[in-house]
Amino acid sequence: MSIACALINHYQPPMTRSKLEDEEIGVQVMQLRQQKNKIQLLLEENNLIRRFSLWEIINHTEIIDGFPIMTQEDLGDLTFGVFQLKRARSYAEERCSTTNLTSDVAYSVHRCKIIPNLIRIPTQSAHSNRVTYHPTIHFTDQAILGWWCDCFTGARFLGCCSHIASAIWFLSYQRWQTQQRQMPSGEYKNLTTDSIQVSDFYDSSDDDDDSQRYSLA
Ligand SMILES: [Zn+2]
């Protein structure tokens, strides 16, 4: 094994090289690492996490024009990882009960009654149908201001969990696509296709709520 590794190290080109933007990303990561999650504070100060009466259920079409439009690269800048984006489609398809996300789908969101540009999208855990998370997003029509989720990794502001990534991906990117995807992501072989469609510039990172993180079973 060590001989094989030595040969690879000597004769093969490196898998990745430093890029010009690496330094900028590094500075950004260090800034975000220090940052407290302002959305969590906002929710706690207004008692919004547990008071369901402060949220109204609407269809996503009511807020879609006030939500920023983003590219896959923009999304990668938010998530700092491809793992969350690879999961985004399957969460959205499950919420919409269809794999055709460019059609007229029913995707409801909860809009805060006292902060109208604050929404949350109840999302069932991928590992337990008894658990529902509440990814919450603060936004303007130009930018995502912040997010918070009550899942295991949802409070971080350096990157985000898959539930947040799915909601932002669906509202800012997927709903503006006109081409129906040919293959649904419900089949495991297509998860490979998903991973190719997202740039691997960003490192994968962990996510979600239990020890089955990387299981396909
Ligand atoms: Zn989450």
* C-alpha pair distances (Å), 86 with each of 118, 153, 194: 25, 17, 6
Domain that holds residue 89: 35-197
pLDDT at 37: 84
CA of 150 to the centre of ligand 1 (A): 6
Assess if residue 177 is contained within a domain.
yes
Assess if residue 150 is contained within a domain.
yes
Assess if residue 41 is contained within a domain.
yes
Q: What's this model's pTM, rounded to 2 decimal places? A: 0.70
Report the C-alpha gap between 178 and 150 in whole angstroms: 32
CA of 202 to the centre of ligand 1 (A): 19
Go through 38-71 and write b for each residue having 16 or more CB atoms within 10 A of its CB, e for each that does not. ebbebbeeeebeeeeebbeeeebeebbeebbebe
Residue 133 CB contacts under 8 Å (≥ 6 apart), including other chains: 122, 123, 124, 125, 149, 150, 151, 154, 161, 163, 209
Check: CB of residue 187 under 8 Å from CB of residue 141. no
CA of 197 to the centre of ligand 1 (A): 23
CA of 166 to the centre of ligand 1 (A): 9
Low-confidence ranges of the chain (pLDDT < 70): 15-17, 20-22, 24-35, 81, 179-217
Report the C-alpha gap between 89 and 161 in whole angstroms: 14
Assess if residue 17 is contained within a domain.
no
Assess if residue 26 is contained within a domain.
no
* 129, burial (CB in 10 Å: exposed 0-12, middle 13-18, buried 19+): exposed
pLDDT at 115: 96
> pLDDT tens, 18-76?
776 667 666 666 666 666 788 999 999 999 998 999 999 999 999 999 999 999 889 98
Assess if residue 128 is contained within a domain.
yes
CA of 148 to the centre of ligand 1 (A): 8
Report the C-alpha gap between 81 and 75 in whole angstroms: 9
**Of residues 84, 108, 103, the one with CA closest to residue 175:** 103
Report the C-alpha gap between 42 and 144 in whole angstroms: 15
> pLDDT tens, 53-69?
999 999 999 999 999 99
Assess if residue 152 is contained within a domain.
yes
* C-alpha pair distances (Å), 111 with each of 18, 95, 144, 199, 200: 42, 17, 15, 32, 34
Question: For the chain, what is the domain count?
Answer: 1
Report the C-alpha gap between 100 and 98 in whole angstroms: 5
Assess if residue 84 is contained within a domain.
yes
CA of 8 to the centre of ligand 1 (A): 39
CA of 18 to the centre of ligand 1 (A): 31
The half-sphere exposure of 136 on its side-chain side, counting CA atoms within 13 A, is 25
